[in-house]
Structure 1
Amino acid sequence: MAQFLDKLVGWLWGTPLILTILFTGIFFTALSGFFQFRFFGHIMKETFGKMLKKDESEDEGILSPFEAVSTAIGGSVGVGNIGGVATAIAVGGPGAVFWMWVTALVGMLIKNVEVTLAVYYRRTDEEGKPYGGPTYYMERGLGEEKGFKAWGILAFIFGAGIFTTFFITLQNYTVSEAVSSTLGVNMIVVSFAFLALTYLCIWGGIPALGRIAGKLVPFMCLFYVCGGIIIILMNISNLGESFGLIFGSAFNGMAAVGGFTGAAFAQVIRMGVARSVYSNEAGWGTSPMIHSTAKTDHPIRQGLWGSFEVFVDTIIVCTITALIIIITGHWSSGVSGATLTLNAFEAGLGYTGRFIVAIGVFLFGLTTASGWYSYYEILLRHLFKDNPSKKNTILKIYKATYAIPGFLLVVMAVTIGLPGKAVWLFADITSAIPTFVNIIVILTLSGTYFKLLKDYKARHLGIGEVDENFKIFYEEKNKNI
């Protein structure tokens, strides 16, 4: 079974999709004038610099920009940053980290584009609340503006790919694995506790999720990063060698070392790109759905939070995980997944290190499960937008059953001994399909993005002349049509 899954993932995450992701990132980076690099200071000023500012905006939306990005970061900074990074290094070697960085740097602009289009094309429902995302910009951008009648087929493929993760979800599994191995508690018991807490988080809906994420996500990131920095400082003499391994094996693969089986160049880049996309979700089309509910005066402004999200997720949190695994020498131990990260932290801080990772995994997993709840809800809202009564019934059933598949996966894994690698291979399959569809769509709608970017530069950066007739939201542009 694992051999078949590995071949399927190898095909899905083969050269065409990897090149498509990298091409898309380079395409938007180049045509935007290297926006995420040249205006990095502006991005940080408009995001990190305003994190603690009280939201007094009267713009249309459900969440504040910070609540939206906290929910999105909570949805992306999760098991992929702990178990996923470890698996990438265990399978692809240290060189995979380099390709994670490359994908993240261009991914900062891919996420900016996705979020911008999601906010621009978002739709106001019967209660006056805005929702958006890939299926929305497929309908409005492809269907209404470009007259592409088959947009619904693309939306169905995208939605089906995303909803597959409803059944094959890794949060509960990875949390249960980490906490069980650390505290010696039965995995099924941990899994049930996680299920109960997930329901507590989602029961208040998207507005409550935003408030919870705004308080929990900054704490959990800081908690994990600080623990990691301590270990890196304790092993600072090995830091140069660790970077040498990352850059040295990024282009020529890695020979077998210790328990490491060795990796060819194709495997190195595939694992790096796949784990980066799974971790920060750039190109996947997920977090733009929650960003679309934010109160903002310009789509690009919320897009800046999308860039910030990728930076925090991969360049900061994933890098901390990767350096600890490599700097402690555990990367070649033959272990993978969250267990590898746990072992590396324990090597640095003893049992306290394992405890930090276990708590980190628990918090990351909880916020990820909660954040993804909002993505599925927004997809369902779009699917049943023309039938409010049916929509409300479906949403109630969805909320009541949301956490059950993750619990059942743990039960199955415990009873038949499903290995962690097989679960991550399932994750790769479910992320590749919607990513490919979404990337094709945002490339098709690139003209709209560049018009919005030009307008933002004129209005807020003093670059170019402001066109007072330019409409910065699709509904505003078409309200009289």
Structure 2
Amino acid sequence: MSNFLNALNNIIWGPPLIILMIVTGAYFTLRTKFFQVRHLGYIFSRTLGRLFHRTDESADEKGLLTPYEAIATAVGGSVGFGNIAGVATAVTTGGPGAVFWMWLTAFLGMLIKQVEVTLAVYYRRTDENGVPYGGPTYYMERGLGEERHWGKLWLPLAFVFGIGIFSTFFISASTFTTSEVVAQSLGVPQAIAALIIVLLLYFMIWGGVKKLGQILTKLVPIMSLSYLILGIIIILMHLDNLLPTLGAIFGEAFTGSAALGGFAGASVSKVISTGMARSVYSNEAGWGSSPMIHASSQTRHPVEQGLWGSFEVFVDTFVVCTITALTVLVSGEWTSGATNATLALNVFTHNFGMFGTVILTLIMVVFSITTSGGWYAYYEVVLRHLAKNHPQVKKYLLLMFKYFYAVPPFLLTLYLIYVGDLSIWTLVDITSGIPTFVNVAVILILSGQYLKLLKDYKARYMHIGQVDPNMAIFYEDKPEVKAALEKEKAAQK
């Protein structure tokens, strides 16, 4: 089984997906004239800058979540254990050169995520309660099925995407990796640690998506800031190793890494695939997951919310993941033989003693439940789309999902503890690669609509170009779509 899954992972994260990711990211970068570079200041002013405003200009817009609640929920789903255990594993597997490919993927991913979030908001659907929901399956149905007249041909793509997304319901690394840290820190059996995490998760998700967003707005910034401060201190403690480490990151990106500390040298292909896979798993650019929560935000324009997607990737990878990678490398712990979350824990323990052990354990627990909580919101969006015309079915489907949500990851953790013949990161790479391939291909097909929206946004709010007064900035604002929706509602009555 292990050999089969490793072979499958090598196929999924092989040349086709790598080329698709790079080509799509490069295409949007060139077509937008390096928007993520030339307008980085604007992106920060419309995202981070707005958090310091007393009034929220989007408060009167339609949506379930405020823009900050949406970004906190989305960051809660991406900034987490993947930034710590995932990145640490990437370095031990692919060597320092994997960090370069992680950065490159994030640079292109800033636009890829902006595109998918923009399309998710534009094509979102308003449910019977007047609340908007959206995501890749929505823009497949409306963008491909309706606008591009694909008929039902969008369904196979949505099916494969949905299978890939929901496979993470059964295969999740959060419970396993975090329980590993808790067990090592507190000296309790890992199974007991996993059970504690499951109970905390149920407590968190029981209030629904709205309540979840409010909780994450408080937890995510505190834990992220604590981790960053301690990570920077570790780097400063080993400042003499920083320049050699940066040299290794760039020098080994195209050559593979030499054998160090018991680790076999990684081939160039392994360096590339590992760096890209961990980048996507961490910041979710191209995965199609976080657009599901962004689509429910209150926003004046789809591109406006897309800017939050770019900001999210920047913070997740260029800040949080980079801190993890550098701490593991400059401290020399990556050559110690430790792997997974244990490697990250060793870095903090060896530099801060018992305080480091306790604080990283706490951060990992909070990141684990915020990541799982963010993903709960993603699954709910897909289920709502699946049962969109059946309110009663939707009600019971969501209720059953809430009850059983944390059970499969717990059972997988028990399997890995007591059987242990599989690599958790091989499993998560497979489950992230499948939906990413489908989603990135779809947003490339729908690139024309994104470029129209970007042109309109730049004219309306950035004073670049002229505003087209006939431009519908949301799909449901188009006259023909409005008419069709009214007809649909009348038929349901």
> What TM-score, normalized by structure 2, do the two folds share?
0.95
Which segment is superposed worse, 349-358 or 42-51?
349-358
Q: Do 1:94 and 1:245's aligned partners in 2 also have CA atoms closer than 8 Å?
A: yes
Name the % identity: 56
Q: Distance in 2 between matches of 1:391 and 1:314?
A: 36
Q: Which residue of 1 aligns with 2:257?
A: 254
Q: Which residue of 2 aligns with 1:223?
A: 226
The answer to whether structure 1 residue 19 and structure 2 residue 19 are counterparts is yes
Q: Distance in 1 between matches of 2:382 and 2:155?
A: 13
Q: Do 1:224 and 1:360's aligned partners in 2 also have CA atoms closer than 8 Å?
A: yes
1:432-471, Cα deviation, whole Å (9 max, x unpaired): 1110000111001000000000000000110000111111
Q: Distance in 2 between matches of 1:190 and 1:258?
A: 30
Cα offset, 1:253, TM superposition? 0.7
Structure 1: give runs of 5+ residues left out of the alignment: none
What amino acid maps onto 1:314 in structure 2?
Answer: T
Map 1:66-465 onto structure 2 (within 5 A).
66-149=68-151, 150-418=153-421, 422-465=423-466
Cα offset, 1:357, TM superposition? 2.0
Cα offset, 1:365, TM superposition? 0.7
The answer to whether structure 1 residue 480 and structure 2 residue 456 are counterparts is no
Which segment is superposed worse, 233-242 or 53-62?
53-62
Q: Distance in 2 between matches of 1:252 and 1:413?
A: 33
What amino acid maps onto 2:180 in structure 1?
Answer: E
Q: Which residue of 1 aligns with 2:49?
A: 49
1:243-264, Cα deviation, whole Å (9 max, x unpaired): 1111111111111112211111
What amino acid maps onto 2:250 in structure 1?
Answer: F
Give the paired residue count. 479
Cα offset, 1:182, TM superposition? 1.3
Q: Do 1:116 and 1:300's aligned partners in 2 also have CA atoms closer than 8 Å?
A: yes
What amino acid maps onto 1:136 in structure 2?
Answer: Y
Q: Secondary structure at the match of 1:480?
A: helix
What amino acid maps onto 1:454 in structure 2?
Answer: K
What amino acid maps onto 1:9 in structure 2?
Answer: N
Cα offset, 1:218, TM superposition? 0.7
What amino acid maps onto 1:35 in structure 2?
Answer: F
What amino acid maps onto 2:98 in structure 1?
Answer: A
What amino acid maps onto 2:33 in structure 1?
Answer: G
Q: Do 1:328 and 1:347's aligned partners in 2 also have CA atoms closer than 8 Å?
A: no
Q: Do 2:92 and 2:334's aligned partners in 1 also have CA atoms closer than 8 Å?
A: yes
Cα offset, 1:414, TM superposition? 2.0
Cα offset, 1:171, TM superposition? 1.0
Cα offset, 1:83, TM superposition? 1.1
Q: Distance in 1 between matches of 2:420 and 2:454?
A: 50
Cα offset, 1:187, TM superposition? 1.1
Which segment is superposed worse, 355-364 or 111-120?
355-364
Against the structure 1 CA distance between its residues 2 and 351, is the aligned structure 2 distance closer, same or farther, given a 3 Å change threshold?
Answer: farther
What amino acid maps onto 2:24 in structure 1?
Answer: T
Cα offset, 1:148, TM superposition? 0.8
1:275-304, Cα deviation, whole Å (9 max, x unpaired): 101111100000000000000000000000
Q: Secondary structure at the match of 1:479?
A: helix
Q: Distance in 1 between matches of 2:317 and 2:264?
A: 25
> What TM-score, normalized by structure 1, do the two folds share?
0.98
CA RMSD, Structure 1 to Structure 2 (Å): 1.1
What amino acid maps onto 1:12 in structure 2?
Answer: I
Q: Distance in 2 between matches of 1:55 and 1:93?
A: 44
Q: Distance in 2 between matches of 1:311 and 1:158?
A: 25
Q: Distance in 1 between matches of 2:346 and 2:453?
A: 47
Q: Distance in 1 between matches of 2:421 and 2:7?
A: 18
Q: Secondary structure at the match of 1:286?
A: coil
Cα offset, 1:346, TM superposition? 2.0
Q: Distance in 2 between matches of 1:8 and 1:86?
A: 23
Q: Secondary structure at the match of 2:296?
A: coil
What amino acid maps onto 1:449 in structure 2?
Answer: Y
Q: Distance in 1 between matches of 2:367 and 2:215?
A: 13
1:155-212, Cα deviation, whole Å (9 max, x unpaired): 1110011000000111111110011111212211111111111111111111001101
Cα offset, 1:25, TM superposition? 0.7
Which segment is superposed worse, 136-145 or 358-367?
358-367
Q: Which residue of 2 aligns with 1:470?
A: 471
Q: Do 2:2 and 2:421's aligned partners in 1 also have CA atoms closer than 8 Å?
A: no
Q: Which residue of 1 aligns with 2:33?
A: 33
What amino acid maps onto 1:436 in structure 2?
Answer: F
Q: Do 2:100 and 2:275's aligned partners in 1 also have CA atoms closer than 8 Å?
A: yes
Cα offset, 1:418, TM superposition? 4.7
Q: Secondary structure at the match of 2:473?
A: coil
Cα offset, 1:235, TM superposition? 1.0
Which segment is superposed worse, 127-136 or 242-251?
242-251
Q: Do 1:118 and 1:288's aligned partners in 2 also have CA atoms closer than 8 Å?
A: yes
Q: Distance in 1 between matches of 2:436 and 2:172?
A: 17
1:334-360, Cα deviation, whole Å (9 max, x unpaired): 222111111122222223222232122
Q: Distance in 2 between matches of 1:106 and 1:469?
A: 32
Q: Distance in 2 between matches of 1:382 and 1:4?
A: 33
What amino acid maps onto 1:168 in structure 2?
Answer: I
Structure 2: give runs of 5+ residues left out of the alignment: 485-493
What amino acid maps onto 1:192 in structure 2?
Answer: L
Q: Secondary structure at the match of 1:386?
A: coil
Q: Secondary structure at the match of 2:483?
A: coil
What amino acid maps onto 2:102 in structure 1?
Answer: M
Q: Secondary structure at the match of 1:194?
A: helix
Q: Which residue of 1 aligns with 2:487?
A: none
Q: Do 1:73 and 1:309's aligned partners in 2 also have CA atoms closer than 8 Å?
A: yes
Q: Which residue of 1 aligns with 2:489?
A: none
Against the structure 1 CA distance between its residues 261 and 133, is the aligned structure 2 distance closer, same or farther, given a 3 Å change threshold?
Answer: same
What amino acid maps onto 2:482 in structure 1?
Answer: K
Q: Distance in 1 between matches of 2:95 and 2:359?
A: 24
Cα offset, 1:408, TM superposition? 1.1
Cα offset, 1:135, TM superposition? 0.2
Against the structure 1 CA distance between its residues 209 and 52, is the aligned structure 2 distance closer, same or farther, given a 3 Å change threshold?
Answer: farther
